[in-house]
Structures are given as structure tokens and as C-alpha cells.
Amino acid sequence: MTTSLFGEPIERREDPRLLTGGGRFLDDLGRDALAAAFVRSPHAHARILDIDLSAAVDVEGLVAIYTWEDLPGGVGDPLPLLIPHPAMTHGRTGLPLARDVVRHVGEPIVMVVARDRYLAEDAAELIRVDYEPLPPVVGIENAAAAERLVHEDVPGNVGAHLVQEVGAAPAAIEAAPHVLEFRLDIERSASTPLEGRGVYARWDAADESLRVYSSTQTSTSVRMAVAARLGLPPGKVEVIAPDVGGGFGVKIVHPWPEEVLVPWAARLLDREIKWTEDRREHFVASAHERGQVQFVRVGFDDEGRLLGLDVRILHDHGAYTPYGIIVPIITSTQLLGPYKPGAYRVEFTSLYTNTVIVTPYRGAGRPQGVFCMERTMDRIARHLGRDRAQVRAANFIQPEEFPYDQGLTFQDGRPLIYDSGDYPEMLRKTLALIGWDSFAELREAARSRGRRIGIGLGCYVEGTGVGPYEGGHVEVDTAGRVHVSTGLTSQGQGHQTVFAQIVAAELGVPIEDVYVTTGDTRRFGYAVGTFASRAAVMSGNAVALAARKVRDKALRIAGDALEADPGDLQITDGTVHVKGDATAAIPLRTVAVLANPLRYAFDAEAQRATQFAAPADPAAPPVAPGDEPGLEGRDYYSPVRSTFAAGMHAAVVETDPDTAEIRILRYAVVHDCGRMINPRIVEGQIHGGVAQGIGGALYERMAYDPAGQLLNASFMDFLMPYATEIPRIETDHLETPSPLNPLGIKGAGEAGVIPVSAVLAAAIEDAEGIRVDAMPISPDDLFHLRLRAGTDPSLRL
């Protein structure tokens, strides 16, 4: 058993359990709990005139029905605006249950509690809500036109407006030898985890304590929110994220209405209550993302170097803004990617519409920003007749220029300073992997046989590992087991594996002895959550620092026991020994016994720590001042700012001249997330990300009709790709360690999704010779694009 596990592509330790049905998801819990169901608005915008419960109250098995009128202060207050920002002049959040106006289809109005979900839905169906329909605002352009308002007191439907500027972009563009101006569109998509949201709450009346299970990406913050809303001390609220079947961002939003209402009702009724979101609810009552219109003006020189870039973004925020303006902030800052923009001006307007709220989904605004910048690079290259890769290279930040300050403020409120990277080398690897230089011949050869193939390239930089902090706790028990806990949650990323690898390597123990717990406030109370590609960076470093504390303490105690200098000791396979002498050794489990001075021996091993077992200094207390009993350590990692991963993707597509089908022939990824803890898991993250990116590029959209009805709120009509739609993904890596954290790592979770729309748009454009300015693109879209290009030469390259 090697203890140098860091960097090894070991198999995921959680997979045998998860793949054989051993997972314990929200709906696996609380079999005897009452079930909640919700009456949700069928209108995109309406005033509630009356709620008639009379037909529902006779349903057998009904326990309770609640409307907003039933909710006490705290519970019935507007949901929090989680991330306030000075530019968010008109932030608006919903109520847990709507009071007078509903602003999107799916907004909850009535909560029904019954013996089971069937009966709860029966009762919900019998509740009659009278509405006065109000004119809905659907689509970014309608929102911007502001002929109708989503919120009466929000003029122009504008929730936020933010300008960031480095240099004088308009003047730089005016003075530039070449100027291009164009519009880009990206439609909505959504996280759509296979497991929807869910909450299960148990109230202990005698103990006056609450236990909440939630399918969340942040159990600690749900706990703070629930405790505050219910007026309970945080110490009386436990929140546990069990196995979570995917999050991808939607489960970082909290507290969801159901996360407040289910615990509240469980306490009120003194009954266990569970709500498991169904798929239709997930589509209309959780969150979506993407959804922007971008107006670009760019000035550049003969080499394609950017002189000035001016981007105006209209961002669709949906009906409310509980997560603030993180998504458009990320779009407007991460848009710059690996490039030096010259002067840069970016302005976004965040608009309300009568649709589901928009909050971060894997990539979190970056796919839109990268789409904008990479389409711009391709435009510049086509305009100058230069190679698309060369134009990118001409704009790269060079390896010797790090740390590189882009002069903007990032989503963590800190300066946008890239810590490390090597973009020219990454481009070299990418072009080699896809065979960029020889592609022109392939394209011509294919064309001569009546086939259309094209190639595309896309680059991105991703700020990962945002603060403020995460913590880790490591404890060695007297059986030699190493218990690791961290407060952030897991949704399948492989935390059981990577955190164990880190601790096993730091401590010098076999990985089989390491047990990892995440997302359980009983084990670790202080945490932020799993989002923004931050878990490995934040908790990875925190558990490493905690393990180092444990290691130092173990060496000190073992040094006393072995009468050796701790500096001469090392830990191998769970045993502390003198370097170069395996016989002068003591197992960690014994060190754990010695670390806890005992009055009582509970077993034979523990006798070694009792008062008459060994000679001790009679003048010193058994626990030295400043020391603590036990072989454990706790530490926190709090970064000064984010660390910046990067990647480049390239793809080859084929389009069918007759049916307009789009097929990905090859997909290549080169990725740099600093030091890799486990390359297998990094590749898995890339594969999953690319798959979601392909979904967003070629299949998924939210089909709202003008009345605000979501027409494809099921997996039959929302086309999440299957494995059959995803090509083999070829990967290569680059490792430029982050200088910002002890392990030198950068985040990898979102990376794969980020440039896919940009890359596929470029490849389709290359195959077709027609400009692609809007994504996603379906065969029907391409068919119509061809028709338009047939009559409008400006659409042709």
C-alpha cells in the first residue's frame, strides 16, 4: 500500500455503493413521514383573488393545508437575497407561498400535507384558486422593452445594472484599424440533476430540536437559514445532506420555499414531513440559467490583437433574484478568458421576466462569456483572413506575465488576478491533439465527396475555489481509523476518494483506513458549500492542513513514547517510526490512545493511557497547557482570492447537407487545474461537463410560449442528451500549480461545460460557411439558417 496517493488515478471509492443501489438519497429516508405537495401557479403572471379549500378538506388522509395567511412572521417573510450587491438596486425575492401576485408558472401558493403523496396531490387538485391574469413578460427583448412590468415597483424591469471598465474602450475602438459589431444570443438551459430537490424534517418536541435532511449543496447554510426563520438556536437544528443525486448549481440556492415550510410544518404538527420534488416541479419551480443577449463592438489591429472591446449584455433573471447578480458578474469578468483585451468596457442589465428564476448552473455565466469572446475571436480571424488559432495566440497573456491583473472585480469581490497558467503551451497541445494544422485538407477531401465537416476551437479561464473559507477535521481513533470531515456537501464528485487521498498522503496511512464525511452539520458546523469548482481547492487544502496538525501531534507523542526527536520520525502505513529504523515504531492507533490521558480503561489497549500505566512527570498536568486530548486536528483554508484554472477545447463536426443533422466526430480537451489530486476524477468531471455542454449547445432549451408556459417541462421534451449523443472525449492535461494554496490545486468541476457552445458553433460555422450567432442549434435551426443564408449573403462567411 503506497502512501504517496496524491496524484494517483485510483478508482472512486464511493462507486461500488452508488452503482449497486446502496445510495441513500432523500426519498430513501422517512418512509413513514407525511408527504407534502404544493398547489403551484398555472399562470406566468396573475393576481390571486381567492383560494377555496372547501373541496379539498374532505380528502381522506389530509392532515393540513397552509396558505400564506397561515404563516407566522419569519416563516412568511420574503426569501432572502443571498448575495447583495450595490448594483442590485431592485432586488426582489419571492415569498415561501405567494400572497397576492404570482410571477411565474410553478410559483407555490398552497402547501398540502397528507398521509402520502398520492393523497396530497388529490387534495391539491381539489383546491380552487381564482386568478386575475396579468400580462406576462416573456423573453429578454420584451423585458427590455418594458411595456409590461414583472414587479410594479421595478421600473424598466431592471433589477441591476453594472458597468466595469478598464481603459477607454469606446475611444480605443474608434481609433482601431478594424472594427466589428454584432449581436449574439444564448438560450436558457438548466442544471436538471437526476435527483430533484427534497426536504425531510423531524421535530423532537422534548428536546426542542429539529433535524432536517435536504438534497442541498450547502447544509450549513440551510441550517443557519432554517434556524433564523423558525427562531431556533442553530445548536438545535441539524441539517444533513444525504447522498445527493447531482446539484450542478440549482441546489446551492437556499432556503428554497420548501426548505422553510417543511421544517416549519413538521414542528407545528409534531410529525415527520417529507417533500420530494417531482420532475415537472423541478422544471417550473426550481431554477434555470444561461439566457443572454450580447451586443459586441470590437476594435483590433492587422494581427488580430484586441485594442478595445465593448460588450453590452442583457441578462434574463427570471421572476426573482435570490442569488443576486453572480451569473452576469461572472459572464462579464470571465468573458476575457486567456486574453489581454486592450481596453475593455462591459455593461450588463439584469432583467426580470415572468419565468423561473435564473441562478448559477455549472459554468455559472462563463459559457455565455466564453461564447461571446470566442465568437469574437473567430469573427476577427475571418475578417482578417487569418488562422483562428493564431489570432487567439496573438492575444494570450504570456507565462511570464503572471500574476496577471485584469483590472476588474470578480464574483468574490476581489480583484480579478490570474495566479498562474501557460496558455501558449496549452494551445500547442490542443492543436496537436485535434490535428488542427492538417484539417484543411480533410475538410476539402470530405467536401469533394459531398460531406461537410468543420473544426472549432474555444479557450477559457475559470476562476475557481472562491472563498470565504472551508474547514476540515481529522481524527485518528484508537482502532487506527482516520475520520475526516468537512462541512461542504457532496453530489457525486468523488469527495470520499480525493479527500481520503489527501489525508492518507499527508498522514502516511493506508487509504482504506480513511473515512470521509461531508455535509453533515453534526460533524462539522462551519462551511460554505459545494459550488464554483471550489470543493477540492477549499476543503482539500483544509483537510490537508488539519492532517498536518494531526501528524505533528502524532510525531510529538510518539517521540515521547519512543524517546526520539519528533524530527527523526516519520509515518508509514499508519505506523510512526524512526527514519531508517522500522523496529523503533509505534502504531498510530496506540498514539491515539496515548493522546487521550484516561482515568478509566475501557479496553486492554486503553490501559496504556491510564494513570498508573507509565511513568509521567508528576509536576506536569496530564494535558499540557495549550494542548487538547485526542489525536485530532481542525484547520481552515481561507484564500486571499480565487485561483484560475484554464482549458481549451476543439471539435470536429459533420453536418448533413440534406437533413441538417449535426454530428460530433471528435471532441478534444486540454485542461489545466494545477496539481491533480486524481486524474481519473478530473477526467470524469471533464466528461460530465462536456456532456452537459453538448446538451446546452445542441439539444436543451426552455421552450416558453408567449404566455409564459414552459412547453417542454419533462424529460420527453427537454432534450437532455443520452450517452448515445456524447462522443468519445479525448483529453490531455497541463499542470501549472497554483501559488495560492498549499496543495497547488485549482478547481475542475465546471470546466468541461464552459466552452462547448462556442466550440460547436465555430465547428458548425466552419462546416457550413454560414455564421452561427445563436446557440443552441438544432437541425431545424440549421435548416432555417441555410434558407436565410441563401437569400442574405451577409450571413455567409
Partner 1 sequence: MKPPAFAYHAPDTLGAALAALAEAGDGGKVLAGGQSLVPLLNMRLAAPAELVDINRITALDTLEVTAGGVRVGALARHSRVERSDAAAGVQPLLRRALENVAHPVIRNRGTVVGSLAHADPAAELPAVLALLDGTVEVRSATGRRTVPAGAFFTGPLESALLPGELAVSAFFPALPPRTGTAFRELSRRHGDYALAGVAVTVGLDEDLRVATARAGYLGVAATPVVLDLTGPALAAQEGRPAGECDWAEVGGYAAARLDPEPDIHASAEYRRTLAGVLTERALRAAAAEGGRSDS
Judged by the rule CB under 8 A, the positions of this chain that interact with partner 1 are 117-118, 121-122, 125, 278-280, 658-661, 699, 703, 711-712, 714, 716-717, 719, 721-722, 724-725, 778-780, 783-784
167, 342 in Cβ contact below 8 A? yes
Rounded Cα distance, 332 and 347, in Å: 8
Nearer to partner 1 (CB atom), residue 262 or residue 509? 262
What's the one-letter identity of residue 296? Answer: V
Q: Rounded to the nearest whole angstrom, what is the least distance from the CB of residue 706 to partner 1 in the complex?
A: 13
Inter-axis angle of helices 366-384 and 756-768, nearest 10:
30
Q: Would you say 60 or 152 has its CB closer to partner 1?
A: 60
Nearer to partner 1, 118 or 526 (CB): 118
Rounded to the nearest angstrom, the gap between the alpha carbon of residue 610 and the centroid of all alpha carbons in its chain is 49
Nearer Cβ to partner 1 (374/700): 700
Q: In the bound complex, what is the minimum distance in angstroms from residue 17's beta carbon to partner 1?
A: 23
**How far apart are CB 276 and partner 1 at their closest, in Å?**
10
Tell me the closest approach of the beta carbon of residue 114 to partner 1, in angstroms: 11
H or E element, residue 558 = helix 535-562
CA distance 763 to 740: 36
Which residues have CB under 8 Å from 706's CB, separation 6+? 136, 138, 139
Q: How far is the CB of 446 from partner 1 (least distance, A)?
A: 19
**3-state secondary structure at position 562:** helix
To partner 1, the closest distance from the beta carbon of 219 in angstroms equals 26
Bridge partners of residue 119, in order along the sequence: none
In whole angstroms, give the CA distance from residue 584 to residue 564. 9
Taking the least distance from each CB to partner 1, the nearer of 32 and 400 is 32
For 621-650, letters b (16+ CB in 10 Å) and e give eeeeeeeeebbbbbbbbebebbbbbbbbbb
The residue type found at 29 is: L
* Closer residue to partner 1 in complex, CB, 36/372: 36
CB 145, min distance to partner 1, A: 24
Query: What is the per-residue DSSP string for 496-521?
Result: HHHHHHHHHHHHT--GGGEEEEESBT
Cβ proximity to partner 1: between 118 and 602 the closer is 118
The neighbouring-strand residues paired with 68 are: none
DSSP 75-143: TSSPPP-SS--TT-TT-----SS-SSEE-STT-EEEEEEESSHHHHHHHHHH-EEEEEE-----SHHHH
Q: Which is nearer to partner 1, 188 or 388 (CB)?
A: 188
Q: Which is nearer to partner 1, 295 or 699 (CB)?
A: 699
Q: Which is nearer to partner 1, 279 or 608 (CB)?
A: 279
- What is the smallest separation between the CB atom of 764 and partner 1, expressed in angstroms? 16
How far apart (Å, rounded) are the C-alpha atoms in residues 251 and 486?
A: 18
Q: How far is the CB of 192 from partner 1 (least distance, A)?
A: 14
Instruction: Give the DSSP H/E element, type plus range, for residue 415.
Output: strand 415-418
Q: With respect to partner 1, which residue has the nearer C-beta, 208 or 661?
A: 661
Nearer to partner 1, 441 or 661 (CB): 661
Return the number of the residue (3 or 655) whose C-beta is nearest partner 1.
Answer: 655
CB of 210 to partner 1, least distance (A): 27
Q: What is the helix (H) or strand (E) element at residue 379, kind and residue range?
A: helix 366-384
CB 484 within 8 A of CB 668: no
CB-count burial class (<10 Å; 0-12, 13-18, 19+) for 99: middle
Q: Which residues partner with 770 through β-bridges?
A: 796
Q: Is the distance from CB of 299 to CB of 285 less than 8 angstroms?
A: no
How many residues does this entry show for the chain? Answer: 797
Q: Which is nearer to partner 1, 278 or 568 (CB)?
A: 278
Q: How far is the CB of 652 from partner 1 (least distance, A)?
A: 20
357 or 785, CB closer to partner 1?
A: 785
Q: List, as one string, the DSSP characters of 597-651.
A: -BSS-SSTGGGGGBTTTS---TTS-SS-TT--SSEEEEEEE--SS-EEEEEEEEE
Whole-number Å distance between alpha carbons of 215 and 200: 9
Least separation in angstroms between CB 550 and partner 1: 48
Smallest gap from residue 344 Cβ to partner 1 (A) = 38
Compute the least distance from the CB of residue 247 to partner 1, in Å: 21
For 570, the enclosing helix (H) or strand (E) is strand 569-572
Shortest Cβ 282–partner 1 spacing (Å): 10
Please report how close the Cβ of residue 722 comes to partner 1 at its closest, in angstroms.
6
Tell me the C-alpha to C-alpha distance, in Å, between residue 406 and each of 256, 301, 341, 370, 534: 35, 20, 9, 16, 21
**141, 165, 272, 411, 642 from 331: Cα distances, Å:** 19, 14, 42, 10, 16
Q: Which amino acid is at 10?
A: I
Nearer to partner 1, 624 or 711 (CB): 711
Rounded to whole angstroms, how far apart are CA atoms 394 and 85? 35
Can you read off the three cell numbers belonging to residue 471?
A: 474547514
